[in-house]
Amino acid sequence: MNPKVDFYFNKAKKWHDELKQMRTLVLDCHLVEELKWGCPCYTFEKSNIVLIHAFKDYCAFLFFKGALLKDPKKILIQQTENVQAARQVRFTNTKEITKIEKTLKAYIFEAVEIEEKGLKVPMKKTKEYAIPEEFQNKLNKSAALKKAFYALTPGRQRGYLLYFSSAKQAKTRNERIEKYTKQILSGKGLDD
């Protein structure tokens, strides 16, 4: 147990027992406990294996390369269609955790094996993401914007494309594009 991580478990009110049970389970798999992104993160030779996090309606293990796990018990959840590598196992009570404890440990050990083998999740390339028509029109009209957008890192490009595309109405897409044009021209990502 890493004392720097204790506060996460001590502050938990809603999922206190579940989170403590999850911590015990994952530490029994001999991973290193660290604090990353404000959450308990468990690593093997400095590679992220699994994260514990709590939400309003559930708490979860998040396997960083969960897409590569075999998942014979069909317990892994892809949070959204845009999440490529990570997968969650969600819980709402301690009984659910106890019921599949052996399976969870097997998944953790499989995740470690994936790291040992150096396997990588095949990620969708930025060029495979659809560019919303409204943004494409703007890029076609402004050489500076086009140059600035394609100078961004692939991750920043994806962030903008996903954000712009997620709006259902053209009006909203145009508003988002207008709002972030200066930021793109400044070479910044969506959350910079």
| CA–CA gap between residue 174 and residue 177 (Å, rounded) | 5
In this structure, whether the domain defined by 3-116 belongs to CATH 3.40.640.10 is answered with no
Any idea where the domains of the chain sit in the sequence?
A: 3-116, 126-185
How much is the mean pLDDT over the chain? 94
- Neighbouring C-alpha atoms within 13 Å toward the C-beta of 66: 21
DSSP annotation string for 50-117:
EEEEE-SS-EEEEETTGGGS--TT---B-SSTT--S-EEEEESSHHHHHHTHHHHHHHHHHHHHHHHT
Find, among 41, 40, 48, the residue nearest to 10 by Cα.
40
More reliable by pLDDT, 172 or 12: 172
Q: Taking a C-beta distance cutoff of 8 angstroms, is the pair 110, 70 a contact? A: yes
The answer, yes or no, to whether residue 7 has pLDDT greater than 80, is yes
pLDDT digits (tens, 9 = 90+) for 41-68: 999 999 999 999 999 999 999 999 999 9
pLDDT bin (cut points 50, 70, 90) of residue 108 is very high
| H or E element at residue 186 | none
pLDDT for the residue numbered 3: 85
User: What mean pLDDT do residues 85-108 have?
Assistant: 97
pLDDT for the residue numbered 68: 97
Q: How far is CA 187 from CA 80, 149, 182, in A?
A: 27, 8, 9
The verdict on pTM exceeding 0.85 is no
pLDDT for the residue numbered 191: 85
